[in-house]
Amino acid sequence: MTKNDVGWVSADFGDWVGAGGALLLLADFDGTLAPPAPDPGEVRASAAVRQALAALPRPPEISVAIISGRDIGDLRARLGIQRLIYAGCHGLEVSGPDLAFRHPEAERQTRMARMRQTVREHNIYRWAGLLLEELSRIPEEAGSVRVP
For the segment 38-80, what is each residue's pLDDT rounded down to a tens digit? 877 889 999 999 999 999 877 888 889 999 988 888 899 999 9
| pLDDT reported for residue 29 | 95
Sequence-ordered alpha helix ranges (H) in the chain: 13-18, 47-55, 72-79, 105-121
For the segment 109-121, what is each residue's pLDDT rounded down to a tens digit? 777 777 777 776 7
Start and end residues for every CATH 3.40.50.1000 domain found in the chain: 1-103
CATH number 3.40.50.1000 given to 1-103: yes
List residues with catalytic annotation.
28
Neighbours of 18 (CB within 10 A): 9
Element (H, E) at 115: helix 105-121
